[in-house]
Homo-oligomer: A and B are copies of this chain.
Amino acid sequence: MNRSHNNGELRTSDIGKQVILVGWVARKRNLGGLVFIDLRDRYGITQIVCRSELDSITTGIRNEYILQVEGQVAPRESMNPNLKTGEIEVIASAIQIINVSETPPMIIADETDALEDLRMKYRYLDLRRPIMQQKLIERHKIVRSVRNYLEERDFVEVETPILTRQTPEGARDYLVPSRVNEGKFYALPQSPQLFKQLLMVSGLERYYQIARCFRDEDLRSDRQPDFTQIDIETSFFSEEDIYSLVEGLFATILKDVKDINLSLPFPRYSYHEVMNRFGSDKPDTRFGYELADVSNLLCHNSFPLIADAITKEGSVKAIHLPGKAKELSRKELDTLNELAKKHRTKGLFFARFFGQDEWEGSFTKYLSDADKTGLMEQFQLVPNDLLIFVADPIWERVCNALGAIRLVLGKKYESSSFTGYDFLWVVDFPLFEHDPEMNTYSSTHHPFTRPYDEDLPLLDTNPALVRAHHYDLVLNGSELGSGSLRIYDQQVQRKVFEIIGLSQEEIEHKFGFFINAFRYGTPPHGGVAFGLDRIAMILTNSESIRDVIAFPKNASAVCPLTEAPSNIDDKLLAELHISLRNQK
């Protein structure tokens, strides 16, 4: 179509030009004999001024009509600093209606009146809102940045199968009945993990894929049945090489998309450190309120929760909230107490400090003078400070409970300072999780994760202490993804299988073709995978992952637009050799 400019393009330097614009009517107003139309396209909004000569056509124009407008660029009397084109307007000489529109069921503007259900049902209108289009475009920019960065470094994108085989473990697979192979099913991949490792066996050395993945899990607000992963695998890379690669990748994304210079390298914390200090394996380090250990300090305290924790070699930790003694109400503390209980502790206890001998909180009566002095010294308490404690025989529970409380308090008191992008690595995960009751081991992540070379002797003596070449990348308290070096030595692989108690038959059944591949010259390899949806959500400041997915599903795994999933004719099911189980 004839279209000399888009609607985000004209500036004062264009004044006097004859232009042809195309777009949707975002707004129409009558003012003193003139009709003003805000004409919108993907690029912006331009104000069109229609004199009375055009009344015969402007009368019928309504919101969301599509127009082609010819006219001349003129300076604008009342400028609009919120528009890129806010200093000009176009005096229309001719208007053609390209298409009409019924009254849309929602307001099509950055601020809309529609609830999310309606927005998803009319997604094509929701996506007409400039703010939503910008999110899709920004997501695209992220992907573009990823591709350029990796391709400059010789990475090859390889598409791996979507119709593949059921994975041996992990989340639930989506299954696809085969028509040609009666009684058999494909599975949609939870990740390209096996294929990308096989590509390393193939000698491809540097693979990446913006990969569609699928997990049939119960949905949370930040989960979708189908999601997208930035998937990377390398051969002959050390863990340090991978850190550099990934740090450079995110520095490039932030530069390209947000024009922000990240400082590199990202800080690294061991799993134990982040748990101890932040009570989370994906800590938000944009604020303080770190957890402090007071197990030693309070080791003689007789408060039952503390005494029990100490006796059973558990842990007592506290968060120090300067000046907040009177700020947190009893009701808020009750809510935090429930949160602590959700994390399987017996709840929090607290101490309000108003002076040497002025402590409040039912637990404070158990504080000896030594305890009090110790706490004052450790936390450098001043009047009006608040301490929140959790004690439990199990260290992880204390960490997790106080970590959850820390997050609530951080958001309550510190969110005004949440402006930056705090990336960090969590490393030194244990290779195995040990169940002391059953004395069994299971893989913390997956059985192909490579142990530290220097910890190999511990495989025989104390597997619980073996550290894994596994690393998580965290941004502002969200896990963006994780990765590991993989085992390429068959001896080590056998030993790991042994420790987690897999028999030869189980190995063959679960990992058959994959293990076989490793017999023919497997290079040292490792990789990483990041959730693209979550990255896009954070970088576009979106509330929900659904805002950065063009056609998302709701919490019932339904697409309100297409009404997928839907009923299927039994004749079709017969062709697939299946039937519904409980047909009514």
Interface residues of A (CB under 8 A from B): 1, 3, 22, 24, 40-42, 64-66, 98-102, 104, 123-125, 127-128, 133, 136-137, 140, 143-144, 147, 151, 156-166, 172, 174-188, 194-195, 198-199, 201-206, 212, 214, 216, 218, 225-226, 228, 236-238, 488-489, 513, 517, 519-524, 549-551, 553, 556-559, 561-568, 572-583
Contact = CB atoms under 8 A, between A and B. Distances in A.
A482 to B, nearest CB: 22
B124 A201 contact: yes
Given A176-B175, A183-B580, A517-B124, A42 B203 contact: yes
Contacts of A22: 236
Contacts of A180: 218, 556-557
A549 B158 CA distance: 9
Contact of A524 (B1, B40, B517): B1
Nearest to A579: B581
A203 B165 contact: no
A551 B98 contact: no
Contact of A559 (B102, B164, B521): B164
Nearest to A533: B159
A104 B520 contact: yes
Contact of A175 (B65, B181, B568, B574): B568
Contacts of A517: 124
B164 A212 contact: no
A165 B523 contact: no
A528 to B, nearest CB: 17
A521 B99 contact: yes
The 7 closest A-B pairs by CB, nearest first: A101-B521, A165-B564, A127-B202, A184-B565, A64-B521, A165-B562, A178-B565
Given A183-B567, A202-B124, A202-B127, A157 B176 contact: no
A577 B581 contact: yes
B184 A522 contact: no
A62 to B, nearest CB: 9
A513 B186 contact: no
B565 A41 contact: no
A104 to B, nearest CB: 5
A50 B137 CA distance: 56
A162 B212 contact: yes
A136 B204 contact: yes
A102 B144 contact: no
A66 B99 contact: no
A123 B559 contact: no
A147 B151 CA distance: 12
Contacts of A206: 42
A179 B174 CA distance: 9
A520 B151 CA distance: 41
A527 to B, nearest CB: 15
A536 to B, nearest CB: 11
22 contacts: A22-B236, A42-B203, A42-B204, A98-B524, A99-B523, A102-B519, A123-B198, A124-B201, A162-B212, A163-B214, A163-B553, A164-B562, A165-B563, A174-B176, A177-B578, A185-B566, A186-B565, A198-B551, A198-B561, A212-B212, A577-B581, A579-B581
